[in-house]
Amino acid sequence: MPTIEELQDAINQLSDMPVSFDNCLKLSTYYNLMNILSGEDKKAVFGANMTYTSDTDFMKIASQTDINDLMAVVDELFSCIQLTAPKLYDSALYKLKKANL
């Protein structure tokens, strides 16, 4: 099991890297492990380091949701959109890819 210091170093390294889904998953895992090791709340909140804000119902709930649970729902939603509205799906993926450049 890594130490809190090792996890903090890994978080600092990832924070300097480009935003990607894989890096977000790693950060979520590292934060969860830090919370467990430090005895703090075991629920990693999606909005902990997020600068985007909105008062939509989605963001109110998402900001209080564990990132892994949130991404599972988003993934399922995108699968449905891919089947029912392929142009919308392609447009959303294009925007995500563009944001990661």
Sign of CA dihedral 98, 81, 28, 59: positive
Structural domains counted in the chain:
1
Nearest to 27 by CA among 78, 66, 76: 66
Structural domain range at position 83: 4-99
CA distance 7 to 16: 15
Could you tell me how far CA 75 lies from the centroid of its own chain?
Answer: 12
Whether the pTM exceeds 0.75: the reply is no
What are the pLDDT digits (tens) for 13-48? 888 888 888 888 888 888 878 877 776 544 444 445
CA angle 19, 68, 46 (to 5 degrees): 60
Between 71 and 43, the more confident residue is 71
Q: Is the pLDDT of residue 90 over 90?
A: yes
Instruction: Assess contact for 100 and 23: CB atoms under 8 A.
Output: no
Confidence tier at 92 by pLDDT (50, 70, 90): very high
Q: Is the pLDDT of residue 98 over 70?
A: yes
